[in-house]
Amino acid sequence: MEFNSLIDALPALLEGLQVTLKLMVMAVMGGIVIGTMLALFRLSNNRILSLSASVYVGYFRSIPLLLVISWFYFLVPMIIEWMTGKPEPVGPFISSLVAFTMFEAAYYCEILRAGIQSIPKGQVSAAYALGMNYRQTMRLVILPQAFRKMAPLLLQQSIILFQDTALVYAVGLMDFLNTARSRGDITGELPLFLLSAGAVYFVISFTASRVVMHLQKKLAIAQAH
Amino acid sequence: MIEIKNVSKWYGSFQVLKDCSTHVSKGEVVVVCGPSGSGKSTLIKCVNGLEAIQQGEILVNTTKVNDPKTNLPKLRSHVGMVFQHFELFPHLSITDNLCLAQVEVLGRGKEEAREKGLALLDRVGLKAHADKFPGQLSGGQQQRVAIARALAMGPYCMLFDEPTSALDPEMINEVLDVMVELAQEGMTMMVVTHEMGFARKVANRVIFMDQGQIIEDTTKEEFFGSPRSERAQQFLSKILHHCN
Amino acid sequence: MNYNWDWAVFFKSTGIGEEIYLHWFMSGLLWTLALSLCGWLIALLLGSLLGTMRTLPNRWLAGIGSAYVSLFRNVPLLVQLFVWYFLIPDILPESMQTWLKQDLSPEVSGFLIVTLCLGLFTAARVCEQVRTGIEALPRGQRQAAAALGLTTAQTYRRVLLPQAFRIVIPPLTSEFLNIIKNSSVASLVGLMELLAQTKQTGEFTANLFEAFTMATLIYFTVNMGVMFTMSRLERKLRVPGLIALGGK
């Protein structure tokens, strides 16, 4: 195998990795924000809010991510055109980002809902007794506890999201895997490039899940006391 | 029947058993007692090899338990054991619990196993429950089924590991009655228990353990008359006080 | 926005004989189901074996199980698919290469490769569920079985696994739903399963909304069907007198 071709391709690969990481970080942040809102909607007393949130979650959880990515690739430009009145090419990065954010929000929602529900009811009563309103109770008392409790699961979901970003291959975005594959094709060293890409994904995910496991243990000890 | 010679066992660097030696002869009932953490449950689990030992020797009917060449499943099939938490198999009906090992281990026919199982179930007074599942029985009933399950294998001795300590007080006697009956029929038994009434009634010998050591190993009369060690005296007064 | 809605598009002719677009979706669904079911068979068998291995006292067997899980869970599915699809066939023995590349139609060989890939990927997840199920059982069950003289194999077959599988039906159901969704990656190596047919219909008719809506509805229905069947199965296997096995 020709390792020189790998070194030559290094700048391109790093750029691809940057795309992958940028997509992941932005989707995680957006997904958690929307997911939190969805979780609050699902648990709210307002029937319309809770019903629409559960329809949203049920919908995204029953279809493949790849379908969402492919669909949004067409859908996002259409919506932008409909809103602004003029055709605007948005490209695969933005449409993938929207797809990932909305898709993952459904999964984050379920984690956070379980987290909020695991906080004893007495905490809510105590906050109300101190004169807090609903927003303050959630923001200052319930959500901080739910986030801490669910941190390992949120991180685990984010690791899955990191691996899933490879699916943007479907819409031609030059992320890490797609760059590696195309460089491999050009240089005729596909095995080398694919296996190296796989190794990079493995090292990142493996290290991250080790950290999560460690965190989980520490949290379990903290809760036992 | 059971020979325990200079047995020591460690969990990591912690020694749970310290040079324990005793024996149980054929037809004898030996009660093992002692405070919690004294190693008595560990000792009884060494007898059928559920726990491995690092030093010493255990013989059951002249078969060496801690010998890698010993066929442990075969040995265990002739040594009945009753556990603190019953350990019936919750996914199997009472009848299937009684038959499983007879068929799988002893190779008995299904009909024969069933007949034998039902006869023993009748003996412990639970024939009417044959088709139920363990989760549908009370603790005392489950423990009686567990005794019948062990007896169905035709064991030449029985090990009891705190058989009544997970039971509600009102259920203890129904289990003890079955055990007393068994002892009176001449079954060889090694029993870890705090039930001193049971020991008084049927035990031949009483072993007192503390901190992994056998402190006393005497006849019942001697033990209840005048325990030689201070620890045993303390323990006994606490236990008896507690019972009254 | 000038978009021509046409919900009757599914009944229009594709231009090939009597065929209408709905046929494309049906054939895509069949491929999706075939991929998922065959992959699931591999995943369930291998995953149960690995999950059992991880709970055995033998360090080597447990180590193999955990290495497998680490490898297959930390590499993205698409990377695994590319490796199976583009690399593995070239390192097979000559005779198998000819069989895979020439004797079989590209459709069939692609199907075999994707099935294998999905099966091995999902096996790592099944393994973890099965292991969790076995570990959730009280330690005394293993000892009680041993005390009756059952061998390790008998203990697993008759006592531990029947209980563990009952505990893990719900998580295994969601893994099965995942393999159905994951089978859509087959569209990226040219297999005409449901997603690929959807995209093709969208491109041929320019009725993207309708095509994707149809695909969504089909996935949704399959999901509901699986969940319904599995909850029936769970009820059927429920042990009388036990409310929640394993205390979960």
pLDDT at B2: 94
pLDDT for the residue C246: 38
Q: For residue B242, what pLDDT band results from cuts at 50, 70 and 90?
A: low
Predicted local distance difference test score (pLDDT) of residue C70: 96
As given in the structure block, the two tokens for residue B193 are 């228990």
Pick from A20, A62, A192 the residue to mutate for testing the C interface (most C CBs within 10 Å): A62
Q: What span, in angstroms and rounded, lies between the C-alpha atoms of C123 and A44?
A: 38
Amino acid in position A88: E
SS3 C119: helix
Check A66 against C74: CB less than 8 A apart: no
Q: What is the CATH number of the domain that holds A100?
A: 1.10.3720.10
Task: Tell me whether residues C241 and B83 touch, CB distance under 8 A.
Answer: no
| C151 contacts in chain B (CB < 8 Å) | 73
* Domain B2-241 in this protein, CATH class: alpha beta
pLDDT at B28 over 60: yes
Query: C150-167: per-residue pLDDT in tens?
Result: 999 999 999 999 999 999
Q: What is the pLDDT along chain A (225 residues), one digit of tens a residue?
A: 567 888 888 999 999 999 999 999 999 999 999 999 999 999 998 999 999 999 999 999 999 999 999 999 988 888 888 888 877 778 899 999 999 999 999 999 999 999 999 998 889 888 888 888 898 999 999 999 999 989 999 999 999 999 999 999 999 999 999 999 999 999 989 999 999 999 999 999 999 999 999 988 888 777 765
In the structure, what pLDDT confidence band is assigned to residue C248 with cuts at 50, 70 and 90? very low
Distance from the Cα of C161 to chain A's closest Cα (Å) equals 26
Q: What angle do CA B114, B182, B197 make, to 5 degrees?
A: 140
Q: Global pTM?
A: 0.87
Are A202 and C74 a contacting pair at CB < 8 A? yes
**Are B198 and B179 in contact, with CB atoms under 8 Å apart?**
yes
Q: Please give the pLDDT value at position B235.
A: 83
Residue of A154 and C206 predicted with greater confidence: A154
What domains lie within chain C, and their CATH numbers? Answer: 23-194 (1.10.3720.10)
State which residue of chain B sits closest to C246, comparing Cα positions: B90
Nearest chain A residue to C91 by CA: give it: A191
State the pLDDT at residue C247. 36
8 A C-beta contact, residue B143 and residue B163: yes
Span of B15-19, C55-59, C62-66, C238-242 with lowest mean pLDDT: C238-242
Helix, strand, or coil (residue A178): helix
The H or E element spanning position B151 is helix B139-151
Confirm if B120 and B152 have CB atoms less than 8 A apart: yes
**Contact in structure between B134 and B142 (CB atoms under 8 Å):** yes
In this prediction, residue B238 has a pLDDT band, given cuts at 50, 70 and 90, of: confident
How high is the pLDDT of residue A1?
A: 52
Quote the CA–CA distance of C113 and A191 in Å, as a whole number: 17
pLDDT band at C18 (very low <50, low <70, confident <90, very high): confident
Q: Say which residue, C77 or C93, is predicted with more confidence.
A: C77
Q: Do C182 and A170 touch (CB under 8 A)?
A: no
Q: Is the pLDDT of residue B244 over 50?
A: no
- The chain B residue lying nearest C241, using CA atoms, is B135
Cβ–Cβ contact C241 with B under 8 A: yes
C-alpha distances out from residue C131 to C44, C52, C126, C160, Å = 13, 6, 9, 11
C226 CB near a chain A CB, below 8 Å?
no
pLDDT of res. A81: 83
Among chain C residues, the shortest Cα distance to B137 is held by: C241
Residue A67's domain comprises 2-224
Per-residue pLDDT reduced to its tens digit, B43-54: 999 999 999 999
B89-125: pLDDT as tens digits: 999 999 999 999 999 999 999 999 999 999 999 999 9
pLDDT digits (tens, 9 = 90+) for B194-223: 999 999 999 999 999 999 999 999 998 888
**Do A and C share at least 3 CB pairs under 8 Å?**
yes
pLDDT recorded at residue C2:
66
Smallest Cα distance from B73 to chain C, Å: 4
Q: Which residue has the tokens 């379908």?
A: A67
Contacts of B106 in chain C (CB under 8 A): 149
CB contacts of C74 in chain A (<8 Å) are 163, 201-202, 205-206, 209
The DSSP result for B161-173, as a single string, is ESTTTTS-HHHHH
Question: Cβ–Cβ of C188/A64 closer than 8 Å?
Answer: no
Give me the pLDDT at residue C244, please.
46
CB pairs under 8 A between A and C: 96
Q: Tell me which chain B residues have a C-beta less than 8 angstroms from the C-beta of C234.
A: none
Which subunits have 3 or more CB–CB pairs within 8 Å of chain B? C
Residue in B50, B91, B137 nearest the CB of C147: B50
Does B contact C via 3+ CB–CB distances below 8 Å? yes
Is C215's CB within 8 Å of A63's CB? Answer: yes
Structural domain tally of chain A? 1
Edge-first strand listing for the sheet containing B79-82: B79-82, B157-161, B189-192, B29-33, B205-210, B213-219
Q: Do A177 and C78 touch (CB under 8 A)?
A: yes
Beta carbons of C36 and C180 less than 8 angstroms apart? yes
**C188 contact A CB<8A:** yes
Contact C149 B85 (CB under 8 A): no
* pLDDT tens for each residue of C94-111: 888 889 888 888 889 999
pLDDT computed for residue A106 by the predictor: 97
Chain B environment of C147 (Cβ under 8 Å) = 48, 50, 76, 79-81, 83, 150, 159
Average pLDDT taken over every residue of chain C? 91
